[in-house]
Amino acid sequence: MRDDLAEYVGPIQDRRRGEALGPSSADSCYKQLAYKYLGVAPSNVRSTDAADIGTLLHLGWSAMIRSMYDPSEREADVRVVIPGMPRPGAADDVDWEHRIVTDLKGASDRNWQALVNRGDVYPSYWRQLTLYAYGLHIGHGGDWSMRVVLLNRDTGERAEFVREADLEEARALVAKLVGRHEQLSAAASFSALTVDPLAVVDNFPREGRGPGSGMPCDWCEFLDLCWPTPTVDGGTPQSETVRDDAEQIGRWAQEYLEAHAEESKASSRKSDAQAFLKGVDGVYPLPDGGSVKITTVGGEPSRVPDCDAMRARLEEAGEEVPMTWRRRSSYPRLSRRK
């Protein structure tokens, strides 16, 4: 499959080294960009299966748009020049008549359900679209809307999310990417003349949250290069990066305490709201626009093994109760002090 899709996979997945930054770089970790731009060899092999499926979905969507619409009304794979941006982008779908720019995203069933229930997609999805909308506004005028079409790779279900473009946010993103591109270009020139690329990469900050945190780290080709192996007191790769920095440890402790307080409040709010919603299945309007579908699930009793009864029966028969070791996860306990 990879060979068959080679001519499409490169441009769509944006994995090329040393290339100018474009809209797809808007949510990349700064250190990840440095690894790629400076030509460092990846340390982790990542499965291309999900990317290949995404490529096929994009190709199918493009073929559908081309077969159904005149290019003057709606067009697929539109090259979008964004003023100031080092490299143009390619929008999946541009509705010229209604001024809507669309990005197609694929997700696993679990991820799809979570986003649909939340009522919004990840902020990173909107950032790339914001740049496209900005480029289309500058190049063609008018106010543009952004749409994410989220496809469930497991079931084929589709959900759509729409919002208006924020041009001020777009200008800030352009300035951020232009600055990063200039710094990476300067670093590449310095690295080629005097220093090993890995030493230069260390000058760029990590913006991912480390192994086990999802995007971008768990899918990064440079995970093992970027995060150290834990070696002291059962630490994590993340804790090893701050072990000798009291200020950073204090910063993450503050983050933990604030998040814990917010989590407790959110849990109470969710529980209160849930009590008002059980058994009132149907579709209802939301105060902030749109609608919500409520479906009552679960609640039915099911048979499960009775461990206490099994233990009692074994003991009555004089049999030894089988035991096994279970590793308990360690965790930090924080006590606020004055």
**Whole-number Å distance between alpha carbons of 113 and 315:** 45
Mean pLDDT by 10 residues, the chain (338 residues): 56 52 85 89 76 80 93 94 88 95 90 87 90 95 94 89 93 92 85 74 89 83 87 84 92 93 92 91 86 80 89 91 83 80
Q: Determine the pLDDT at residue 10.
A: 52
**Whole-number Å distance between alpha carbons of 238 and 164:** 37
CA atoms in the 13 A half-sphere facing the CB of 212:
4
**Whole-number Å distance between alpha carbons of 87 and 22:** 5
**CA-wise closest residue to 16 among 43, 35, 44:** 35
Q: Determine the pLDDT at residue 5.
A: 58
Does the predicted model carry a pTM greater than 0.85? no
Between CA 42 and CA 193, with CA 88 as vertex, the angle to 5 degrees is: 45
CA atoms in the 13 A half-sphere facing the CB of 318:
0
Taking only Cα atoms into account, the Rg of the chain, rounded to an integer number of angstroms, comes to 25
**CA-wise closest residue to 208 among 197, 219, 195, 196:** 219
Q: Determine the pLDDT at residue 153.
A: 85
**Whole-number Å distance between alpha carbons of 63 and 262:** 46
Strand partners, 291: 285
**Whole-number Å distance between alpha carbons of 130 and 163:** 10
Q: Determine the pLDDT at residue 17.
A: 47
H, E, C per residue of 99-155: CEEEEEEEECHHHHHHHHHHCCCCHHHHHHHHHHHHHHHHHHCCCCEEEEEEEECCC
CA atoms in the 13 A half-sphere facing the CB of 271:
6
Domains of the chain (ranges; CATH) run 6-181 (3.90.320.10), 246-300 (no CATH)
100-107 and 145-152 strand pairing: parallel
**Whole-number Å distance between alpha carbons of 237 and 222:** 14
CB atoms within 10 A of CB 26: 21
Strand partners, 80: 89
Give me the helices (H) in 215-337, please.
223-226, 237-240, 246-277, 307-316
Strand, helix or coil for residue 2: coil
12 φ, ψ (degrees, to nearest 5): -75, -40
